[in-house]
Amino acid sequence: MMGNPYNNISLYLRAGITIFPSQDKAIEEVLVNLLERCPAQHILLLDSSGLLINSLGGGKDTNPVSLASLIAADLAASKEIANLTRQYNNCQLVMREGERTNTFIVEAGQYLILFVQLSKDVPLGWARLMINETANQIADIIKKTPETAEQSSIGTTDEDLSSQIDDSINDLWSQ
Amino acid sequence: MQINLHQRELNIKIVYYGTSYSGKTTNLEQIYARVDPNRRSDLVSLKTNDDRTLYFDFLQLELSKISGLTPKIHLYTVPGQSYYETSRRLVLNGVDGVVFVVDSASDRVIDNMNSWNDLQDHLSFYGKSLDTVPIVVQFNKRDLPNALAINDLSSTLKTDGYAACPAVAVNGQGVFDTFKVVVSDVINGIQREAVD
Ligand SMILES: Nc1nc2c(ncn2[C@@H]2O[C@H](COP(=O)(O)OP(=O)(O)O)[C@@H](O)[C@H]2O)c(=O)[nH]1
Ligand SMILES: [Mg+2]
């Protein structure tokens, strides 16, 4: 696939994250497992800059994209507060008790954040255990970059990329 | 930046940076008002009681496919006041492109300069710099009677050499041009690095 601009994607996204198909599937499995076994009502996986990766469950009127940006900001602020008050913890966890549900926000490795909302009926100890386990599993999945064959398996057209970009952006505005 | 090769998404984070009152939130409001509702998320604004940005504003836009990937553009603003320094740094985490919004008013020169310096400090916190992150300088409030000439502003702030867009954000003027330049710079940047 010569000339494919996304061919060596994993090499240059040093600051960012590339999620490969096999990783996406493995993550989905781990999250479904958490959703069922915990059980949880809503699960979000996002990266530390607030970009949503996956959303399971949740009501129709909660927008997971907006929620993800707020969760990342919430955790970032909590970490900063912990730092300033010398409570730094390697794996920051934020828990909120609501009237009918509790929510957890926890880091899943260096780059990802897991948000879980569950009924108050779920014992906190059990929830914590399950959530931490899931966070570790996700961190492990992301750490392992799959084989190169999978990395280059993206279809692209031969069209000039710059004009594609132009069209795509113009399209947004003119509608 | 985040790429999901399974869902074929390219997630990009753009931050509107600049001194308080320069028009960052206005940029997002204008974009929100003008794009097809099916292509955008809600506009999330964390504000104080008197309507000033407390933490950030957020808006996500979905572009049509480029090279088989759907770009999702996440726009953030920062709170401009000097005491929100830490919040600004947090919002810059994972940034892929910056719009630096300049208030062209003649009495805001020092504030613009401080903000420009502050941006560089925070980028370096993340191991980034003005040379590695695409930047567009938006000279906003061109309609003000006391607006300084762009050339003068640019040489005072030392923003020469970066992409520049004049704007009257409150009327929507220049808002889209700015957006377009920063997003194409970011996406073209990916292509360049990939080809190298
Ligand atoms: N005259 C003028 N006012 C503007 C322009 N853009 C924004 N404003 C006004 O400047 C004020 C501050 O804008 P805002 O977007 O809240 O600034 P922020 O603090 O950078 O988010 C608001 O009253 C806007 O209506 C412009 O191009 N010209
Ligand atoms: Mg604002």
The answer to whether residue A151 scores a pLDDT higher than 50 is: no
> Do residues B138 and B178 lie in contact, with contact meaning Cβ atoms separated by under 8 Å?
yes
Question: How far is A68 from A32, CA to CA, in rounded Å?
Answer: 18
Interface of B with A in 17-36 (CB under 8 A): 34-36
Question: How far is A130 from A145, CA to CA, in rounded Å?
Answer: 25
A9 vs A22: which has the higher pLDDT: A22
**What is the residue with the minimal CA distance to atom 19 of ligand 1?**
B21
Q: What are phi and psi of A80, to 5 degrees?
A: -65, -40
Query: Cα–Cα distances in Å, from A123 out to A92, A128, B57, B99?
Result: 20, 9, 35, 46
Cα distance from N-terminal residue to C-terminal residue, chain A? 34
| pLDDT band at A174; cut points 50, 70, 90 | low
The response to whether residue B168 sits with its C-beta less than 6 Å from ligand 1 reads: yes
* Residues of chain A contacting residue B2, judged by C-beta atoms under 8 Å apart: 16-19, 47, 49, 51, 53
What is B79-129 written as a DSSP string?
A: --SGGGHHHHHHHTTT--EEEEEEE-BGGGHHHHHHHHHHHHHHHHHTT--
B195 vs A123: which has the higher pLDDT: A123
- B134 CB burial (10 A radius; 0-12, 13-18, 19+): buried
Instruction: Please state the ipTM of this predicted complex.
Output: 0.79
Domains of chain A (ranges, CATH numbers): 13-168 (3.30.450.30)
Q: How far is A127 from chain B (nearest CA, A)?
A: 28
> Do residues A109 and A142 lie in contact, with contact meaning Cβ atoms separated by under 8 Å?
yes
Residue of A62, A145, A169, A175 to mutate, interface with B, max B Cβ within 10 Å = A169
Pure H helices in chain A: 9-12, 21-37, 64-84, 124-143, 148-151, 161-174
Interface of B with A in 59-98 (CB under 8 A): 60-61, 63-69, 71-72, 74, 76, 86-87, 90-91, 93-96
> Do residues A71 and A47 lie in contact, with contact meaning Cβ atoms separated by under 8 Å?
no
* Residues of chain B contacting residue A49, judged by C-beta atoms under 8 Å apart: 2, 13, 93-95
The answer to whether residue A126 scores a pLDDT higher than 90 is: yes
| pLDDT band at B187; cut points 50, 70, 90 | confident
B80: Cβ–Cβ under 8 A, 6 or more apart, which residues? Answer: B18, B19, B20, B21, B22, B24, B53, B115
> Do residues A87 and A78 lie in contact, with contact meaning Cβ atoms separated by under 8 Å?
no
CB pair distance less than 8 Å for B68 and A5: no
Tokens for B89? 């740094």
Tokens for B139? 């000279």
B27 vs B47: which has the higher pLDDT: B27
DSSP B62: E
The response to whether residue B26 sits with its C-beta less than 6 Å from ligand 1 reads: yes
Question: How far is B165 from B183, CA to CA, in rounded Å?
Answer: 14
B155: Cβ–Cβ under 8 A, 6 or more apart, which residues? Answer: none
**What is the pLDDT, as a whole number, of residue A56?**
95
Q: How far is A118 from chain B (nearest CA, A)?
A: 24
Q: What is the mean pLDDT of chain A?
A: 81
| pLDDT band at A141; cut points 50, 70, 90 | very high
**What is the pLDDT, as a whole number, of residue A76?**
87
* Residues of chain B contacting residue A166, judged by C-beta atoms under 8 Å apart: 180, 184
| pLDDT band at A10; cut points 50, 70, 90 | very low
CB pair distance less than 8 Å for B35 and A13: no
**What is the pLDDT, as a whole number, of residue B89?**
93
Amino acid at B120: Q
Order of strands, edge to edge, in the sheet holding A112-119? A52-57, A42-47, A112-119, A101-108, A93-97
**What is the pLDDT, as a whole number, of residue B50?**
81
Q: Mapping DSSP to helix (H, G, I), strand (E, B) and coil, where does residue A92 land?
A: coil
Question: How far is A101 from A119, CA to CA, in rounded Å?
Answer: 4
For the beta carbon of residue B71, count every other beta carbon within 10 angstroms.
23
The string of pLDDT tens digits covering residues A11-55 is 333 346 788 889 999 999 999 999 999 999 999 999 988 889 999
Q: Which of B10, B164, B24, B5 is nearest to B74 (CA)?
A: B10
Interface of A with B in 97-156 (CB under 8 A): 150, 153-156
Q: What is the mean pLDDT of chain B?
A: 92
Residues in chain B: 196
The answer to whether residue A148 scores a pLDDT higher than 60 is: no
**What is the pLDDT, as a whole number, of residue A58?**
87
